[in-house]
Amino acid sequence: MNAGELEAAREAAWRDYDHANRAIPDCEHVRAWRQQIAEARTKHQVAIRAHRKALAAQEKAEAATVEPEPVPVTPRPAPVAPATTPAPDVQESLFEVGKAA
């Protein structure tokens, strides 16, 4: 929808709302009914604010009590001990070992 269509839809919605609101008679029981609705709306808004405040306080308290998880430590490999026997001066070829067997 383009801006003109959105504006036309908004105006139509406003006219429908205004027409319905004006169609309600202005008598004593309707005024009392509207007052009751306004009071209920106010109570609801107060309850919403209190609920949000309690949730925020609970989240804050939980965040304060949660300890950070420890970072896993990877153990270092044990150092390799040097060979105790000296390496042979001459290494035999694997091809020669196979022929001897």
What are the pLDDT digits (tens) for 17-75? Answer: 999 888 888 889 889 998 999 999 999 999 999 999 999 999 998 888 867 778 888 88
Mention every residue, 6+ apart, whose C-beta is less than 8 A from residue 57: none
| Cα angle value 40/44/46 (rounded, 5°) | 120
> For position 53, what pLDDT does the model report?
95
Q: How many CA atoms lie within 13 A of 33 on its CB side?
A: 7
Q: What pLDDT does residue 52 have?
A: 94
- Give the list of residues 6+ apart from residue 9 with CB closer than 8 angstroms, or none: 1
Record the tokens describing residue 79, joined without a space: 């150092």
Q: Work out the pLDDT band at 2, boundaries 50, 70, 90.
A: confident
pTM of the predicted structure, to 2 decimals: 0.44
